[in-house]
A and B are shown apart, each in its own frame.
Chain A
Amino acid sequence: MFQSKTARWVLIILGLCVVVLLSFSVGVSVGYRKATFSYKWRENYDRNFGGPSFRGAAFPPEPPFMMSAHGTVGSIVQITPSDFIVVGRDGTERMVTFSSSTTIRSNEDMLHSSDLKAGDQVLVIGAPDDEGRIGARFIRVFR
């Protein structure tokens, strides 16, 4: 079967189709998650960040293109016992919640949520919730 040129070309084309379709479906899945999170971030902006941004706009700002839903990198600007707000490089705020199961590390040390403070550079891995927030599973603090 593989000696035939036609059979080889058919196999190559089929393989390419599989790769293209798989890539497309991964892209659709990732895009859907980002779009859903961006929508929920905007819908819950007032509740999470306490009203319009410092720019004085009457409505919540448009999320930049589409936001990553499973983590963020930035500096902490505000912190409470159960959550904190991270501002990323693009200037967008993101609410991150943590629980007793969240692992927080700085260099080799394990930290507690009470060790986090405003101004810390953090990287968060987590999952989005229905209120446009990220539930942190792991936080790496860069000090």
Chain B
Amino acid sequence: MGRKRIKDRLFKRITDRIRSEEKLLTLRRRTILFSLASGVSTVAFVGFCFLLQSALVQSELLRALSLVFSDPEAVLMNWRDFGLLVLESTPAVSLAGVFAVLFLLILSAGYAVRYFAKMISLVRQTRMHSHEY
């Protein structure tokens, strides 16, 4: 009876350990995947920022927006034409690219941190149970 109980306990320890190692492997893979994705998103974000900067310099947007500070009354009097000029000269594609890449960067970084934290907590749990046995 005692030997049976020891065998059962050993079997349970082994299966628990296998399960936690499998979980750890999945978490490690996801952490690496999302960390890589954040790295790629960071590089893409820097690239898109340079693109946006050059698009802004090329376009008339910054000069047009400076009128808000230098000639606010002229802007108010011609608000419709000014508004349309701002809309026409906004580099919409570059801006959308920057926002899209930033969104992906924040999402992938968030998931990378979450899975990393879960991985650390699982490693600590596994070590604690090993010491108990």
B residues near A (Cβ < 8 Å) are: 58, 60, 63-64, 67, 70-71, 74, 77-78, 81-82, 84-85, 87-89, 92
Residues in A with CB closer than 8 Å to B70 are 140
Across the interface, do B78 and A125 meet the contact criterion of CB distance under 8 Å?
A: yes
How many residues does chain A have at the interface if contact means C-beta atoms less than 8 Å apart?
23
Known contacts A105-B74, A140-B67, A70 near B85 by CB under 8 Å: yes
Residue A115 at the chain B interface, CB threshold 8 Å: no
Comparing A3-11, A13-21, A27-35, A51-59, the segment that makes contact with chain B is A27-35
Q: How far is the CA of A88 from the CA of B67 in the complex (A)?
A: 17
Across the interface, do B82 and A125 meet the contact criterion of CB distance under 8 Å?
A: yes
Task: Report A84-119 residues with CB < 8 Å from chain B CB.
Answer: 88-90, 103, 105
Across the interface, do A68 and B60 meet the contact criterion of CB distance under 8 Å?
A: yes
Closest to A26 in B: B87
Residue A71 at the chain B interface, CB threshold 8 Å: yes
A residues near B (Cβ < 8 Å) are: 26-27, 30, 33-34, 68-73, 88-90, 103, 105, 123, 125-127, 137-138, 140
Partner of B64, one of A71, A103, A126, A137: A71
Query: Interface SS of chain B: helix, strand, loop or mixed?
Result: helix
Known contacts A30-B87, A34-B88, A70-B88, A125 near B60 by CB under 8 Å: no
Instruction: Name the distance in Å between B18's Cβ and chain A's nearest Cβ.
Output: 38
Instruction: Name the distance in Å between B97's Cβ and chain A's nearest Cβ.
Output: 16
Across the interface, do B71 and A71 meet the contact criterion of CB distance under 8 Å?
A: no
Instruction: Name the distance in Å between B92's Cβ and chain A's nearest Cβ.
Output: 7
Residues in B with CB closer than 8 Å to A137 are 77-78, 81
- Sample 7 A-B pairs with CB under 8 A, ordered by A number: A68-B85, A68-B89, A70-B88, A71-B81, A123-B67, A126-B81, A140-B70
Closest to A126 in B: B81
Q: How far is the CA of A40 from the CA of B84 in the complex (A)?
A: 18
Residues in A with CB closer than 8 Å to B81 are 70-71, 125-127, 137
For A26, A30, A69, the residue with the greatest tally of chain B CB atoms inside 10 Å of its CB is A30
Q: How far is the CA of A90 from the CA of B60 in the complex (A)?
A: 10
Q: How far is the CA of A30 from the CA of B74 in the complex (A)?
A: 22
Closest to B70 in A: A140
